[in-house]
Structure 1
């Protein structure tokens, strides 16, 4: 169950070695869909056909003196035997409460003593036949809408975010480089599986459009924005290295790949804090994004550094990748005082 794995991974309870064991096992499990290179919500299964349901094993009937007696008497109130010798519970029973009502109705009949004696046994047989406790809703009964064999993209994005958190913890705790590298491989693989770079033929739709799920054997279905966007934004901020500690904005792009930096000059368009469209040329070898509508430009450099350029033309430099609290507050509060942040990133930090 993907939800359970994601919950454990995001809990922070597992160490990096245990996280890697879980991720390796998931990749080899029935949760992994090779055609989409991603993970389904539950392992797929073959549902029984209509005529295979509500069948009571003969040995179960024989365990109960009540059921045996009622079948012999031809009393169909609880169980009956069909022309093929197969036993079935009363087809009008919707749940165990209906069965309890039927057992209560035997109190003034010749079956009263047996009904009292076998009451729990019959209820247990009913549960064995229908296995209600294993019912998981549409995920275990539908063939679409996050049903059997379906990838639920929001949960995959939750998975990505959980793995990212595990990667960041491993790196910050100076875990073994090979171990961290293997965790990162899983992170990048899950990201690729989400699909923004897939072909329309494989994705089943325009890969940049949001879709709820992908059923087994079909492309993406049910278009529309879901909560997935929240996790994807958080994951991207984490990949870019944004974090806040003690009120200070920090840039540490230890998950960011060098391949993402521009191969040619490009014009970056964004809306500033006053909702005005702005254009900024980012040169080859740079990377741009916004934080609280303030443009941030990364460039690879010999040493880590930050330069904050203010709207009044002044500038402040930092010899690290962490801003002071006052400057951070101006960015968070969108005062308009900070016009641009330029970050020099040591190449050794990047992937």
Structure 2
């Protein structure tokens, strides 16, 4: 797996140090989409992701960041006693009962002023101390600012996903990011296919793809999903079913992924069909009909036979049918037919479809079983 963000800390005029945030789903999506990985490396990443703290077994999907236990309220903003013991300024403030910077509770624990909301607050409080503390402030200010950052670690703050308990909080699945993962994995499936990777690598990548797809939930029971699975929801918290109804950008990735599964591409102005990812179980087991709205906004139906499926592209029905040979038949509205022995149309017919001219009635794509 890959680090999503590197945190840089300026140590002095000549040095910086690098630290890392915990695993992030978006980081894995980013590297999968970057084109940096080979198919084999992508497979290794996905295997690691499946066994990481990001995998959520109950929903068979992935959370944004690893879940964690937050410190209890009385454990927050607690300064180690040894840090106080090492500071002449802090010891003097406590001894004098001055609470502008630090105070001691009834249990003897030390805390920064509870009104501070960032390092600037601490810096201003130090500057506002009585002149009697001036020399100590000059000597210790930088050290106290570092103690403040060590306690609160503001540079590692990732927002509500690391501090809330519901909706977009700890342990939540953010479904849009899962759909981004799905699309990124599909891109690597196609990379493996187009570069003639081994059947084993291609097969395992496809296994990951369809596992992630199943985890998104459209075929889950309402009991498991926590809502009607066909309704759009933004998040699924750690302790509940789907929450926050409303459509996010997830729909964009899902549409792109679906056309990728169907193998519909445009290459050099030609509409191409390469359904290498499509599963046989998607084809009809018995005859049926397909309903659609044509370019004239008229409701129409197409009769479908066993071992076929149908979808529309630019409102033109495309019928896939399992066959012993590969070919494409274009049926025009003037009852003329045109056949292609390759799995792509020519530029002229493709252009007519793209521009929605209404010349093409439907397309029949024969696919080898």
Normalised by the length of structure 2, the TM-score is: 0.92
Match of 1:166 among 164, 185, 188: 188
> SS of the counterpart of 2:366?
strand
2:165 aligned with 1:109: no
Q: Distance in 2 between matches of 1:220 and 1:110?
A: 58
**How far is the alpha carbon of 1:346 from its aligned partner?**
1.4
- Stretch deviating more after TM superposition (60-69 or 298-307): 60-69
Q: Distance in 1 between matches of 2:296 and 2:138?
A: 76
Structure 1 unaligned runs (5+)? none
Structure 2 unaligned runs (5+)? 1-23
Q: Distance in 2 between matches of 1:285 and 1:83?
A: 77
Counterparts of 1:1-351 in structure 2 under 5 Å?
Answer: 1-106=24-129, 109-347=131-369
| Higher relative contact order, chain-length normalized (CA < 8 Å, sep 6+) | 1
- Stretch deviating more after TM superposition (165-174 or 65-74): 65-74
**How far is the alpha carbon of 1:65 from its aligned partner?**
2.7
Normalised by the length of structure 1, the TM-score is: 0.96
- Stretch deviating more after TM superposition (289-298 or 203-212): 203-212
> SS of the counterpart of 1:110?
helix
> SS of the counterpart of 2:132?
coil
Q: Deviations over 1:258-281 (max 9, x none)?
A: 010000111100111121111111
Q: Distance in 1 between matches of 2:106 and 2:165?
A: 33
- Stretch deviating more after TM superposition (219-228 or 6-15): 219-228
**How far is the alpha carbon of 1:136 from its aligned partner?**
1.1
Q: Which ranges of 4 or more aligned residues in structure 1 deviate by more than 3 Å?
A: none
Q: Distance in 2 between matches of 1:168 and 1:68?
A: 65
**How far is the alpha carbon of 1:141 from its aligned partner?**
1.1
Q: Deviations over 1:264-308 (max 9, x none)?
A: 111100111121111111111101000010000011122221111
Q: Distance in 2 between matches of 1:324 and 1:64?
A: 79
Q: Distance in 1 between matches of 2:325 and 2:142?
A: 73
**How far is the alpha carbon of 1:73 from its aligned partner?**
2.5
Q: Distance in 1 between matches of 2:352 and 2:138?
A: 74
Q: Deviations over 1:51-94 (max 9, x none)?
A: 11110001222333322322233221111222211110011111
* Aligned residues of 1:41 and 1:146 also touching (Cα < 8 A): no
Q: Distance in 2 between matches of 1:316 and 1:269?
A: 24
> SS of the counterpart of 2:362?
strand
Q: Distance in 1 between matches of 2:110 and 2:239?
A: 36
Q: Distance in 1 between matches of 2:218 and 2:327?
A: 32
* Aligned residues of 1:64 and 1:121 also touching (Cα < 8 A): no
**How far is the alpha carbon of 1:187 from its aligned partner?**
0.2
Q: How many residues align?
A: 346
> SS of the counterpart of 2:176?
helix
